[in-house]
Amino acid sequence: MALFGKGAQASDAEVFEFQLSDDEWRKRLSPQAYAVLREEATERAGSSPLDREKRAGVFHCAGCNLPLFDASTKYDSGTGWPSFYQPLPNAVGEREDKGWFMTRTEVHCRRCGGHLGHVFPDGPQPTGLRYCMNGVSLKFVPL
């Protein structure tokens, strides 16, 4: 799996409810998940089997297991990344990301601060939003 650069960085002032040391994160996560969740890398488009996941269930944070997205809000955005039009209540946080020579809105797990992806204003109704997530940052739990 190819991974690409860093985006927004968590502020040193941000404190998350679920915290581990860098060594504990490295032991807990695969190298790819660590790069995305903790270093804000991006997985290659089309590389995640979760982009093709169509079963009923819930997508959780691969870092701390917080439920993030109900599968009923997932849709095929054609981007090659799992996309959703709405997160679960109180599941994600957002911050401005000025990396890659543009300004985007970075999305992270509100409990552990793990980088998930970005949100864009070009999604379907009812929200008009596209939460474009790295599959390696998610864990699917079928119903």
Write down the catalytic residue from 61, 64, 109, 132. 132
* 64 assigned to active site: no
Report the CATH number of the 15-142 domain: 2.170.150.20
Read off the pLDDT band of 14 (50, 70, 90). Answer: confident
Read off the pLDDT band of 6 (50, 70, 90). Answer: very low
By the 10 Å C-beta count (0-12 exposed, 13-18 middle, 19+ buried), 49 is classed as exposed
By the 10 Å C-beta count (0-12 exposed, 13-18 middle, 19+ buried), 125 is classed as exposed
Q: What is the pTM of this model?
A: 0.89
Per-domain residue ranges of the chain: 15-142
Per residue in 35-73, pLDDT (tens digit) is 999 999 999 999 999 999 999 999 999 999 999 999 999
One-character DSSP codes across the chain: --EE-------TT---SS---HHHHHHHS-HHHHHHHHH--EEPTT--GGGG--SSEEEEETTT--EEEEGGGEE--SSSS-EES-PPTT-EEEEEE--TTS-EEEEEETTT--EEEEEES---TTTT-EEEE-GGGEEEEE-
Per residue in 78-127, pLDDT (tens digit) is 999 999 999 999 999 998 876 666 778 999 999 999 999 999 999 999 99
